[in-house]
Every structure is written in structure tokens, then in C-alpha cells.
Amino acid sequence: MSPAAPRLPALLEALGQRAPRGMVLGLDRVREALAALGDPHADVAAVHVAGTNGKGSVCAMVESIARAAGLRTGLYTSPHLSRFAERIRVDGEPIDDAALERALSAALERVPAPLTFFEALTVAAFVAFRDAGVDLAIVEVGLGGRLDATNVLAAPLCTAITSIAFDHVALLGPTLADIAREKAGILKPGAPVVLGPLDPEADAAIEAAALAISAGPRLRVARAERGGSAGEIAVGRAGEIAVGRAEPSARATRVVGPGRPALEVELGLRGAHQAENAGVACGIAWQLAGRWPEVERALPAGLAAARWPGRLERIDAGAAQVLLDCAHNPHGARALAAWLDEEGPGAARTALVFGAMADKGWGEMLQTLAPRTQRRLYATPQGRAAAPLDALQAIAPGEPIGDPRAAVARAIEVAGPGGLVVVTGSIYLVGEVRSALLGIAPDPVVAL
């Protein structure tokens, strides 16, 4: 702990005590708190990003692009992998202890009513960004959009929805259209909108929401066909961003926007699905370029330099490589499976460490991933209730170990030299394993 932040341990403990309240959707408490602090969010130019999957990767790409353009950036994401401060970044780095202390002190002690855990961190982020004098804040929605605490942003420079899939249906609704309408709650009158590839049902719901409030203009990323080459995406149609491989055998991604020359870049983030996320990030950057022309020139460098821990992240564990991926729903598991099919060493040399939250689609996730691994080891993530180990075994035979660190140690042993250990199923599982492998002393796990 920094000597300049003697009160931080007590503040973090007070913050953690609010976690049992869970996620309480609504904006009134956050607006009241921000007003008491001088509305720090109103002083910050912002991009607002929602989506079932991909929103964190898009935020990381946009932040990297903006920083490569010379802007002072703020990045607010959730959850953290190891430290609370990871959620609030300035110029690509978690804020320091002194800045975190000031921001948390404001959010926890200078507001009229007690905030939830997530609300307090959201308020703290806006305080930190104002205090740091950021030029641009990239803000990731926590859950849904319409009633998420981040939706106090009244006039973002651009909004984006990366994807729509079934997740949090108890809160967001049972259909893709229901979920899309909740996420479309971040759209604002006159603010540009960038959409990732969406099913027609979700796209129609978002289009109706955009028309109702005069949001736009709208840019859509065309769904990439696996292996699509440059010849198939030579020119983007009006309102469309086309993405694909520069060449069928190349790693470089090609992005073509309306009226813009093709951009070819090898992305810093792994996985074929990141091409679509890059398309969304480019769409956002093109909107920002109207205010900061240097942002468009920084696209290649920013996309190449982007990093997002825990997303197809490799860590050398000596005898084997460990691949960490925060896939935590069926949509994410399919993206991971596609990477394993294309880049993995094969099922015989791959061991899976899997654990998931009980309220996620863990059965479908495991059915997707199990055939791609020869050995499976089941772990229990911290946080809220986890999927039962015996239920996981019933879907695909494996070793029920429980403790994530022990499961990884066993997986490294069975994968053997040159093998691959895939750790996935829960962001909290990945965070715990990553902290252990890298020797990071973690803050408490909070499943929010």
C-alpha cells in the first residue's frame, strides 16, 4: 500500500461490505450521488459500450487507439481479475493507490445515500477521470444498459452495442429482442451508434429504439464469414463496416468502412472473433475522428497494441502453456472453441480446467468445449454459487478437484510438455488462476 493512501484498506473494506446487496438496477441513486460531487461525469467526453460479449475487448481497443493518438484516456470496466483498481484505468494503467483513495472516499463518504458496490465504483470512476483530466473516457456497461449505473452519461460522443446473446435473462428478458431493447437504453439522441453483427430480431429492436429517440447515424459491422478474404470485402456498403482476413492464410485483419480506404492490421487481441470487435472499434474511432483527426491515423498502431488480460491470454507455466479465457456464457464458449479448432494443439494435448457460475449456461458451454480436450478438471470459482462439480461430470467425464489452483497444477501435469491448459468458464476462475500464476496478491473476489 502506498504511504500516500493510508485510508485505502478501510475504504476497500467498506466497499466490499456493500457487495452482498448485489446488483440493484436504477439510476436515481447514482445521479443523486454525482450531483453531490459536482457531476464529474458531465465534465468528461465519453464513449459508452454495451453488449453480451465483446464489450470489454472493444473498450480495450478504443482506449488503445485513443492513447496512440496522444489522448489522455480513462477506461472503466468490470469485473476486475486481481485488483479493484483494474476497473478504473488512466492512460492504460490502473489508477494508483492515492487516486483510488480519493475517488472511493468521495463515492463512499460524500454522497447523500449509500450506494451499491457497483454504483460506488461507477461514481468513483467518474471522479477519478475528472481529477485526472482525461480527454476521453471509455465506459463499459456493467449489466444490460437502460438501468445500468453507467447510463448516467447523457451525451456520449458515440455509443456501441457489440453483440446480443442470451445472458442474464431473469433481469433483461427471455428473448433476444427483450435483451436488445435493454441494451439499446444507452442510445442517446443525436449520438452515433456502432453495432456489431446481430441477429435480425435483435437488430430490429435496436433500430426501432434508435428511431424512437433519433439516435444515429448508425454503422453496422457485417458478420464475418470464417476465412473470408480481402476479395469478399473490398468495399463496405453504406452504413456497413466489413471485416475479414486480409488473405485466407494470413493473420492480418482487413476492415473496410463506408467511404474509407481499407485498413489492414494484425490485431493485438487473439481470436477470429476479434475481427468483428475491431470493426466496432474502428466505427467508434471514425466517429471520434470528427473531433480528433489524429484518432483515425492512430488506428493501425492502436489496434496492434491493444491488450485485454484474461482473453485468450497465454502464460508460460514451464512444462505447459496456460491459456486463460474469460468465456462465461455459450456465445463466448463458441468463440473459444473456434480458436481451439484453428490454433490449438489438438484435443490429445489439451487439458481443460472448467468452472462456472450456477446461473450461467454452463451445460451448453461444457458441451461445446469438452470434445476439444482429452482431459477435463473441474474447479469451483469464488464469488456466488458455482455449477456443481458432479453435474459437470455428468456432462463430460473429468476430475472434480474444486480448488482452482490445484486443478491447474493437475492440468499442467496431465497436459505434459508442450501441452496446453485451457482455463475458462468464469471470469472469477480466470482471475484467481491468473493472480496465482503471476504472483499477484488479489483483492477479494466480488461477483459484480
CA distance readout (Å), 373 to 119, 269, 271, 340, 393: 40, 23, 18, 9, 14
| Residues 290 and 341 grouped into a single domain | no
How high is the pLDDT of residue 324? 97
Cell readout for 232 is 469478399
| Residues 267 and 202 grouped into a single domain | yes
| Residues 40 and 93 grouped into a single domain | yes
161 belongs to a structural domain: yes
| Residues 417 and 321 grouped into a single domain | yes
How high is the pLDDT of residue 230? 42
CATH of the domain at 318: 3.90.190.20
| Residues 268 and 360 grouped into a single domain | no
How high is the pLDDT of residue 173? 76
How high is the pLDDT of residue 237? 59
Hey, is 102 helix, strand or coil?
A: helix
| Residues 319 and 300 grouped into a single domain | no
Please, what is the angle between helix 8-16 and helix 117-132, to 10°? Answer: 140
Structural domains in the chain (count)? 2
Instruction: Specify whether the CB–CB gap between 210 and 145 falls below 8 A.
Output: no
**Alpha carbon distance 43, 256 (integer Å):** 33
Q: Which of 278, 305, 332 is the last residue of a domain?
A: 305
| Residues 139 and 259 grouped into a single domain | yes
| Residues 415 and 271 grouped into a single domain | no
Instruction: Specify whether the CB–CB gap between 269 and 60 falls below 8 A.
Output: yes
Q: What is the dihedral of CA 232, 238, 240, 244, to 10 degrees?
A: 20
- Taken in order 386, 387, 392, 393, is the CA torsion positive or negative? positive
Query: Which residues on adjacent β-strands are paired with residue 49?
Result: 140, 160
Radius of gyration of the chain (CA): 21
DSSP state string for 105-160? HHHHHSSSSPPPHHHHHHHHHHHHHHHHT-SEEEEE-SSSSTTSGGGG-SS-SEEE
**Alpha carbon distance 90, 124 (integer Å):** 13
Which DSSP category does 81 fall into?
A: S
How high is the pLDDT of residue 231? 43
Q: Which of 305, 325, 342 is the last residue of a domain?
A: 305
**Residue 428 zone, left/alpha/beta (φ > 0; ψ -120 to 50; rest):** alpha
Q: At CA 371, angle to CA 365 and CA 376, rounded to 5?
A: 75
Report how far apart the first and last C-alpha atoms of the chain are (Å, whole number).
24
Residue 247, phi then psi, degrees to nearest 5: -140, 150
Q: Which of 289, 305, 321 is the last residue of a domain?
A: 305
446 belongs to a structural domain: no
Of 227, 187, 243, which is closest to residue 211 (Cα–Cα)? Answer: 187
447 belongs to a structural domain: no
**Residue 22 zone, left/alpha/beta (φ > 0; ψ -120 to 50; rest):** left
How high is the pLDDT of residue 25? 78
| Residues 251 and 365 grouped into a single domain | no
| Residues 272 and 414 grouped into a single domain | no
Cell readout for 35 is 450531483
Low-confidence ranges of the chain (pLDDT < 50): 1, 226-231, 233-236
How high is the pLDDT of residue 383? 80
| Residues 171 and 256 grouped into a single domain | yes
| Residues 133 and 209 grouped into a single domain | yes
Count of other CB atoms within 10 angstroms of residue 190: 10
Predicted TM-score (pTM) of this structure = 0.92
CATH of the domain at 227: 3.40.1190.10
Domain that holds residue 201: 8-305
411 belongs to a structural domain: yes
How high is the pLDDT of residue 447? 66
